[in-house]
Amino acid sequence: MRFIIDADLPAFMARRLRELGHACNHMSELGRGTEPDAAVYALAQNERRIIISKDRRFADITEFPLEEHFGVIRIRARDLRREELTLLVEDFLGRHPESLDHTLVVLTPNSERFRRAE
């Protein structure tokens, strides 16, 4: 899968997902760590990537309609270290290798919720 990881998550996550064979960029690796959400979204759209972010704004389907994006994984977790955050995503992807096109996933340490375009 192809991912863009928002600057609110550790760059370590991008390195680990690349080790697992995913095409993955972190916004800070691109020199764009302070870009607004609209720029992160535009980059993900242009490169057909899934956004991984802790920013709840990406879960707003009125602003980022499901029909228009290639997927969003919104992480809701506080007080997790970078390794724990990365493992949370890694475990999720291991259980869900299917396409996430037009899907919003809200991922927590104890749950995962999916919302797909109709």
Specify the pLDDT at position 78.
Answer: 86
Beta strands in 1-118 (DSSP E): 2-5, 23-26, 50-53, 72-75, 103-107, 112-116
Using DSSP's 3-state secondary structure scheme, residue 43 falls into: helix
- pLDDT per residue rounded down to tens, the chain (118 residues): 999 999 999 999 999 999 999 999 999 999 888 889 999 999 999 999 999 999 999 999 999 999 999 999 999 998 899 999 999 999 999 999 888 999 999 999 999 999 999 8
Give me the residue spans of the domains in the chain: 2-116
